Structure 1
């Protein structure tokens, strides 16, 4: 855990401002009186903070509440269009970009492509150009963009914006965040794409009410986001959650994984593993077409293909049962492109989980979360939004303080009015 900030007037100001902003966000519409009651802050402090947020355009006064007598109170609501963030999902040949408002609603999306194997610096330049074009197409200026969040597969040092290794992209030690910041001149945050999706689910999705949950993604690979105590757990060096590379088959001739090892969960239960088992060869960039074709063959009644999906589902069920035994989360969210196989994969997975959990646990919710490239990009955008909403009690030189955002929003509004 990061060290806590030492006591100071600035810390108290930031903390109070964060409490007020988050209460308005949580309740969507709330009066000043209720803000004071729920926050425990004096009315004078509420008045000052709300005044700053209103002046910056981050908060709006909206329609009045029902009154029990006397003057009806004016309600406060987050101004979702006070500023925007850009989310980017980076894959081996495509870049999905989306602009999100302050409530993580996607307002404008586009996709661009590049040749697999393109040098990292060229990809970063392509990304910077695509972001500028996207912002212009949406009728916005870069001054209205609070930051850019990027999600990609691999081991990511989020504190440094460094891609330590991504087997899918073929990258090693690429300073993605700093390089893009130099081109765009706005904050850039980078994380493993499953972590970004987990943050979005925790802030805005099915994990909103859960402090402890796991998000398992199934597609070309298998990943996991870990939310403990309401925060993403990244491990000591950013590599936590590489669920797909746990060894589940120790035979010398176990299936080969993309990472170069044999017997990984990913080599048996991912789209890649299923296709390779069925076809006996690495599908390369044609994996999406190949898995769609196999699903069609299974639905057409080819028993051998059905059996491959079933075995993959059983293997995944055992792996998820082990997660339950280790973490005891309240929820497990299942997401990713692998869901398109439906009950060919999911039903054997569901049947297997209770057989391998300690004490046959049945009180843990298993939630299926359909995803799209747009949703992954929204997840990346939530990296910036998470910093807006997070408590300021921890030291983090890279984090955006809400106080800085108030200043940014004020400048952006003045610039937009010109």
Structure 2
């Protein structure tokens, strides 16, 4: 079955422009479109009629009168197509099916344990896609495509996950997920790193504010980041998702495991870093409620630490405060270089306790060179852990009006 390329489904530049304007509003009148598009009245009328006739738009009633006839309101047709979003992460992978209004029609998730090899996961995804489409009576050719956000590093052009760290199952090296799933499913698949997909999701959720320069940082097992400038994701010569974590904070500092830079930010501010700090200090004889967990110091993990943080165990508070301070220093370096309008912080470490977010952002602001002239908005985002999978689905819809 030959599937139509996403960017060719709406084939006129004028059609794409009007569709994108309408997509950014729940409802919009022809008068507002005339002002925003700078088209002539006759060109706009013809374009709207053609988009309605092709099924991309719906006439959605009449707006309030401003003295003349009540204006026709337009919205995109949610059932003109469907998209899948897929999040491939170290702990959990998730698939969602959405219409063009981003209404979630179905979802499924997989625990990424030691049995979840690439072949097993991708085969189960293909089966689940077919099951979801049958369940909702959606034809395969109504699917625009699937966006995938995955742990990097990766090659997004070839659709290959390269050498990710910390997967429990074997085989997660040089996995061409794009080719594998396109052969199984027959519709377009696109791959990008998880941070890039997350910033697309968060930007879309906050589209009424129209921030043009965004920074997204996900702080968990590692540090994942992305940047958006002039409303577009910034790409480098290689996959940049893990680059912030390799920023050197202390030139004579330690190294996390057997990879990365010595004294890198990830060595001081990541789940693995705080686990190692706790284990080391307990072995040194430090007192802590962690000793009541009935596990040996070398087996203390993030779950134990979060529980101890909730009861304000002094040692645990010290470890998290130190990590938040180092992370704030790294964040200030980024602010001094990139000057985003808004910074979105997510991930398990950011969300484990309000104090972590507040301490990290205070340190960042205090070390920002142009403060208070330069004002930045800090946020924990609107979508939380759903940002990645939501952004993956939105990235497919975005292609309708690109090119």
Deviates more, 1:19-28 or 1:133-142: 133-142
Deviations 1:353-378 (A, max 9, x none): 12321133451111122655443211
Using structure 1 for the length normalisation, give the TM-score: 0.81
Q: Where in structure 2 are there 5+ consecutive unaligned residues?
A: 1-7, 283-297
Q: Does 1:327 align with 2:338?
A: yes
The answer on whether the counterparts of 1:89 and 1:373 sit within 8 Å (CA) in structure 2 is no
Alpha-carbon distance between aligned partners in 2 of 1:16 and 1:386, rounded to the nearest angstrom: 16
* C-alpha displacement of 1:111: 1.0
Deviations 1:95-118 (A, max 9, x none): 211112223332322212454365
**Equivalent residue for 2:231?**
230
* C-alpha displacement of 1:257: 4.4
**Equivalent residue for 2:376?**
364
Deviates more, 1:55-64 or 1:360-369: 360-369
Alpha-carbon distance between aligned partners in 1 of 2:359 and 2:266, rounded to the nearest angstrom: 17
Question: Equivalent residue of 1:166, what SS?
Answer: coil
**Equivalent residue for 1:269?**
269
Alpha-carbon distance between aligned partners in 1 of 2:248 and 2:257, rounded to the nearest angstrom: 10
5 Å matches for 1:3-402?
14-92=12-90, 94-113=92-111, 115-116=113-114, 118-169=116-167, 171-205=172-206, 209-239=210-240, 242-251=243-252, 254-257=254-257, 259=259, 261-280=261-280, 290-361=301-372, 363-369=375-381, 371-390=383-402, 392=403
* C-alpha displacement of 1:57: 2.2
* C-alpha displacement of 1:318: 0.3
* C-alpha displacement of 1:93: 5.3
The answer on whether the counterparts of 2:193 and 2:241 sit within 8 Å (CA) in structure 1 is no
Work out the number of aligned pairs and report it.
375
Q: Where in structure 1 are there 5+ consecutive unaligned residues?
A: 1-9, 282-286, 393-418
The answer on whether the counterparts of 2:199 and 2:387 sit within 8 Å (CA) in structure 1 is no
Alpha-carbon distance between aligned partners in 2 of 1:181 and 1:275, rounded to the nearest angstrom: 39
Alpha-carbon distance between aligned partners in 2 of 1:192 and 1:38, rounded to the nearest angstrom: 33
**Equivalent residue for 1:3?**
none
Alpha-carbon distance between aligned partners in 2 of 1:206 and 1:51, rounded to the nearest angstrom: 26
Using structure 2 for the length normalisation, give the TM-score: 0.84
Deviates more, 1:171-180 or 1:16-25: 171-180
The answer on whether the counterparts of 1:248 and 1:264 sit within 8 Å (CA) in structure 2 is yes
Alpha-carbon distance between aligned partners in 2 of 1:245 and 1:257, rounded to the nearest angstrom: 13
* C-alpha displacement of 1:300: 2.0
The answer on whether the counterparts of 1:166 and 1:172 sit within 8 Å (CA) in structure 2 is yes
Deviations 1:60-81 (A, max 9, x none): 1012011234432211111223
Alpha-carbon distance between aligned partners in 2 of 1:207 and 1:307, rounded to the nearest angstrom: 39
Deviates more, 1:257-266 or 1:75-84: 257-266
Q: Evaluate the alpha carbon distance shift between residue 219 and residue 105 of structure 1 in structure 2; reply closer, same or farther with a 3 A threshold.
A: farther
The answer on whether the counterparts of 2:249 and 2:264 sit within 8 Å (CA) in structure 1 is yes
Alpha-carbon distance between aligned partners in 2 of 1:163 and 1:232, rounded to the nearest angstrom: 19
Alpha-carbon distance between aligned partners in 2 of 1:301 and 1:43, rounded to the nearest angstrom: 64
The answer on whether the counterparts of 1:97 and 1:374 sit within 8 Å (CA) in structure 2 is no
